[in-house]
Amino acid sequence: MRAPFFGPTFEEMRDPSRQPPEVRARALAVRERDPLDPYNLFNITWRDPEGRIYYEVLPRALTGVEAPIVVIYAKDFPTGSHKVGAAYSILMEKVLLEGLRPGEHVLVWPSTGNYGIGGAWVGGRMGFEGIVILPEGMSRERFERIEAYGARVIRTPGSESNVKEIYDKCKELTAADPRVRVLNQFSEMGNYRFHYYVTGNTIVDLAAELRERGIGEGKVAAFVSAMGSAGTIGAGDRLKQVWP
């Protein structure tokens, strides 16, 4: 049994400048040079290397409304999706609260895409053996990314809507191997907490920054997110606390 590689706290993901200077410097150094370096865990954030939030203000000519509509985007996260943040937060909580350790536990990531890709990347950077369960009908690129990150893929029948088959396989693996730990994005509160503490508070920060630039009034009137695992409800809950 060996200790896992520890990554950032919620506060350090919200604001990477809070990371120890030597850690931040190393994370930035490997960001483009070595995407598989474990220090890229410290690049799980909605902010770029200069500390600016990843966002675009949509032009009024496109939206047709006076209120500014702002999109925050996750294409520059280590795996190209914010699901890597949810995967990291879920695993880190398991490490801290349940004692998961590389060499002692095998991680199983049930998914139809980005969460499994995120889990393969995070688990490998933290030193764990990983298995991603993915429907066989998903895109070839998904399988290639997962395997490139060092995880094993188990293909289940069907495509994106065939979720039951994924969890049937999880149950089978759990029964066969006591080392298996299933990290299910639909039931783990680490998913919610990542979006509550990191995504939600990043949006709060962005509203204030935009007001200083003369965009909006410093508050969020509406929040729209594309629901997958519903973890992004956490961001909505945080925003409703700030602006009831």
pLDDT in tens, 91-102: 999 999 999 999
Show the domain range for 96.
Answer: 84-182
19, two tokens: 């990371």
Percentage of the residues of the chain whose pLDDT score is greater than 70:
100
Same domain, 20 and 56: yes
pLDDT in tens, 75-87: 999 999 999 999 9
Residue 170 lies in a domain: yes
> Does residue 1 belong to any structural domain of this protein?
no
- For residues 88 and 178, membership in a common domain is answered with yes
Is residue 28 assigned to a domain? yes
Give the model's confidence band at 1: pLDDT under 50 very low, under 70 low, under 90 confident, else very high.
low
- Which helix (H) or strand (E) segment holds residue 182: the answer is strand 180-182
- pTM of the predicted model as reported, rounded to 2 decimal places: 0.95
Last residue of a domain, one of 136, 151, 182: 182
Report pLDDT digits (tens) over 182-221.
999 999 999 999 999 999 999 999 999 999 999 999 999 9
**3-state DSSP assignment of residue 171:** helix
pLDDT of 136 > 70? The answer is yes
Say if 4 falls within a structural domain: no
Q: Please tell me the total number of residues recorded for the chain in this structure.
A: 244
Same domain, yes or no, for 91 and 73? no
Q: Are residues 177 and 199 both part of a single domain?
A: no
Give the pLDDT confidence score for residue 196 in this predicted structure: 97
* Kind of pairing between the strands at 180-182 and 106-110: parallel
Task: Looking at the structure, tell me whether residues 95 and 172 fall in a common domain.
Answer: yes
Q: Quick one: 89 and 173 in the same domain? A: yes
Cα–Cα distance for residue pair 100/3, rounded to 1 Å? 9
Confidence at residue 152, expressed as pLDDT on a 0 to 100 scale: 97
Residues 52 and 128 in one domain: no
Same domain, yes or no: 38 and 106:
no
Is the residue at 119 inside a domain?
yes
Query: Whose CA is closest to 46, among 25, 70, 21, 20?
Result: 70
DSSP state of 112: S
Give the total number of structural domains in the chain.
2
Residue 85: Cβ-neighbour burial (10 angstroms; 0-12, 13-18, 19+): buried
Over 80: is that where the pLDDT of 68 sits? yes
Q: Give yes or no: residues 92 and 152 share one domain.
A: yes
The answer on 90 and 75 residing in a single domain is no
Average pLDDT, whole number, for the chain?
96
Q: What is the CATH number of the domain that holds 160?
A: 3.40.50.1100
* Domain end position, chosen among 134, 159, 182: 182
Domain assignment present for 172: yes
The yes-or-no verdict on residue 3 having pLDDT over 90 is no
In a domain, 45, yes or no: yes
The pLDDT assigned to 226 comes to: 78
Interval 49-62: pLDDT, tens:
999 999 999 999 99
**In the predicted structure, residue 90 carries a pLDDT above the cut 70:** yes
CA distance 47 to 27: 13
Q: Encoding tokens for residue 68? A: 């500014």
- Edge-first strand listing for the sheet containing 106-110: 152-156, 129-135, 106-110, 180-182
134: which strand partners? 155
Query: Are residue 195 and residue 228 in the same domain, yes or no?
Result: yes
Same domain, 66 and 24: yes
